[in-house]
Structure 1
Amino acid sequence: MSCRKESLCPLSSDLTATDRRTSDDFATNGSGVGVYPFALVLRLRVLQVVCGISALVMGTVALIEERGELNLAVAVPAGCATVLAAGASIHTSRGFSGYKPSTCGSSSSLRFLGPSARVAVPLVILWAVACSLHAALVFQATWTLAGKRGSESSELSGTVLVLAVIELTLTSITILAVLVILRIDCRYDPD
Structure 2
Amino acid sequence: MTYAAALVRIFCAPMLLASSATIAAPTQFSEQLADWHQAASSPVTPAASSAEAPLELVASTNIGESIIRELVLLKGHAMLGTRYVFGANEADAVDCSSLIQQLFESAGIELPRTTQDLASIGEPVNSQSLQPGDLLFYSWKKNRLHVAVYAGDGFAIHASPDKRSVVMTELNKTWDHHFVAARRVVQEDNI
TM over 0.5: no
Calculate the TM-score normalised by the size of structure 2. Answer: 0.27
Structure with the higher fraction of residues in helix conformation? 1
Structure with the higher fraction of residues in strand conformation? 2
